[in-house]
Amino acid sequence: MTRVAVIGTGVIGESWARLFLAHGHEVVASDPAAGARDRLPDGVTFVDDPAEAVAGADFVQENGPERLEVKHALLAELDAAAPPGVVIASSSSALRPTDLARGAPGHPERVLVGHPFNPPHLVPLVEVVPGEATSEAAVEAAMAFYAGVGRTPLRLRAELPGHLANRLQAALWREAYSLVERGVATVADIDTAITEGPGLRWAGVGPIAGQHLSGGAGGLAHVLEHLHPGTEALWADLGSPTMTPELADRLVTQVTGAVTDPDALLARRDAVIRAALEARRSG
């Protein structure tokens, strides 16, 4: 049995803990927030001291606040206490692993980003991002560990703000917010356009392979040859919104009006994720 330390047990950390438990690992968690222990499922050992949590760990998943100075203080403590060679993976969604590793001067080679997608116990993707000091052994260990808990680890080839998938999401959000700002569509319209349209295809094959399939026998080459002028015209027409207070208020007002039962929508989201994954397995 692998002993996994989960440091920080908010929404992401709690979900990680559930995943690790479900795959038979011993989970030791730590979080200074009030009520943190009560949020965790049965079977997780909770300790107040993060150094104690990582002292005998085989893998460390850090989920602290997304502020570099906080991460540095926490990583210094974890690096001093974790056994040599044990990977310290940060769930950071935006920070560069090279910057994170400066908080662990003793063993920067074991620090990397292991960025999940919410909720980690359901969504398979984990972006594994090495920094300049990260060793190949640490990357390989992280890839094997995440694969062993049923995730799909994706090794990134470069450090970028937001990694890979968040950048793709940001591109879509940019145009979505612009359309709302311009009054072209409502929040509900945009969500419907994705869930009832390309989102269905993307869940099965992804956006570029989907383009390839839409080209028939000619594949992507046919699409690019015949549709690239129109695509370039669309690129030129895409918006560049500014998140003004007025736009933020419009977005929040519309989404809260559209989502009248957040708990039911959350349950639906998770059910759709499970169904999509099951369909892919059996397909």
Sketch out the chain's domains with CATH numbers.
Answer: 3-155 (3.40.50.720), 165-282 (1.10.1040.10)
What pLDDT does 1 receive? 63
Whether 58 contacts 3, CB under 8 Å: yes
CA-CA distance, 126 to 135, in Å (whole number)? 18
Tell me, what's the pLDDT at 208? 94
**CA-to-CA separations, 35 to 30, 31, 40, 115, in angstroms, rounded:** 11, 9, 9, 25
Please tell me the pTM assigned to this model.
Answer: 0.93
**139 in Cβ contact with 87 (< 8 Å):** no
pLDDT tens for residues 175-215? 999 999 999 999 999 999 999 999 999 999 999 999 999 99
Mapped onto helix, strand or coil, the DSSP state of residue 32 is coil
pLDDT tens readout for residues 199-209: 999 999 999 99
DSSP E strand stretches across 83-188:
88-90, 111-116, 125-130, 152-155
Identify the pLDDT of residue 196: 96
| pLDDT value at residue 282 | 87
Q: Where in 92-146 does DSSP place strands (E)? A: 111-116, 125-130
The residue ranges of the chain whose pLDDT is under 50 are none
